[in-house]
Copies of this chain bind each other. A is one copy, B any other.
Amino acid sequence: MTGAIEADSPRGCTGCGTRPAVSHGAAARAEGADLRRVRIHPDHWYPLAWSRELKPGRTLAVSFAGEPIVLVRPKDGRVFALEDRCAHRQVKLSAGVVKGCTVQCGYHGWAYDASGKCTDVPYLGKGKLPNGVRAYPCREASGMILVFPGDPELAARTPLPGLGASADPAYKTRRLGRAVDCHYSFMHENLMDMNHQFLHRRQMGQIRPRFLGQRATDDMVEARYSFARTGGKQPLGEAAIFGKRRGEQEALAETDVMTIRTEYPYQTLTIRTNGAKPVMELWIVYVPLDAEQRRHRTFGLLSIQRPPVPLLLDAAWPVLVLFTERIFKEDRDIVEMEQAAHDAQGADWNQEVFPVIRALRHLLRTRGLAPAA
């Protein structure tokens, strides 16, 4: 670790057991809370499904932090999102039927429109219709169905997240998604602490990260690294990303810079070899599935800049897929082991020595909601 870290090191914060660079404020409500129990803040747009998972005329059962949600795609019309329960007997609307622009419960046929209003009970007069169910603001972008699970009044003035290079035709994008049995915070820390290259020693060869510095604001923590290969060969998957095969012992040039940023609640990783445009960009978010938020689904967009001869990237794609799958599996195994340890220990025993991770932990703690009582 370089002296540069020390220079960057943040001021003190008792609650976090960390010394963040950010100023405090209302967020102090979460001071001292166990980070692994801090709930993700619902006032953001979260992807709950890939667009391709929901066919026209069908429903899809998803969830956000324990709230069951049904996504409905009418044959003609925009996707909408409701509480996944019928107001009558609480069975899942996702087990029902799409009828026009409504979803009809499969049990007694009660129907609901996109606003959640009950529009029909087949055996009851229209004047007597009961109350409906909650509707969630819902959008579709870049192949994802996003929902705003928080205060609906805030949805209109909260922009969708920038989805990075995935909209730029100069890039080819791979969608990564998997359920992982851990709190979302483990994922942020995993990606930002590049010293964990040791975990990937079998996939990546021996790479030594060099920490270049960190930045932080109230909403964001960022770390920059360069890399030196200290042993082993450059893997094919890495070559696929960089568009060329480098010589042994050379690998990632020391001038290449990797930037990892958590801009709450999203995370990005970009690699720049020179110039303005990154050669690779990952946009990723970890969406809690259960009420305890001990399990999440990962939605990631991994975009690779197309090389001058585009077919080269297509040819290398299967290698890249295999490479990222293997890396991801190692990461998943280790973060699930962290969660299991937290479950067994009943508290966060983390003993962090890396200042940028301490700043990240502070960000996640102060931007989230305090643990449920």
Contacts and interface: CB of A to CB of B under 8 A. Distances in A.
A274 interface: no
A198 B107 contact: yes
B107 A353 contact: no
A296 interface: no
B350 A89 contact: yes
A244 interface: no
A330 to B, nearest CB: 9
A338 interface: yes
Interface in A338-365: 338, 341-342, 344-345, 349-354
Contacts of A198: 106-109, 122
A351 B89 CA distance: 7
The DSSP consensus for interface residues of chain A is loop
Contacts of A130: 351, 353
A334 B107 contact: yes
A92 to B, nearest CB: 6
Given A89-B350, A349-B90, A352-B88, A195 B337 contact: no
Nearest to A194: B123
B88 A342 contact: no
Q: How many copies does the complex hold?
A: 3
A36 to B, nearest CB: 11
Contacts of A122: 195, 198
A244 B338 CA distance: 57
Nearest to A105: B198
A128 interface: yes
Contacts of A199: 106-108
B342 A90 contact: yes
A131 interface: yes
Interface in A113-163: 121-125, 128, 130-131
Residue in A85, A87, A351 with the greatest tally of chain B CB atoms within 10 Å: A351
Interface in A298-356: 334, 337-338, 341-342, 344-345, 349-354
Given A1-B124, A106-B334, A107-B196, 5 more contacts: A68-B344, A88-B350, A92-B337, A108-B198, A123-B195
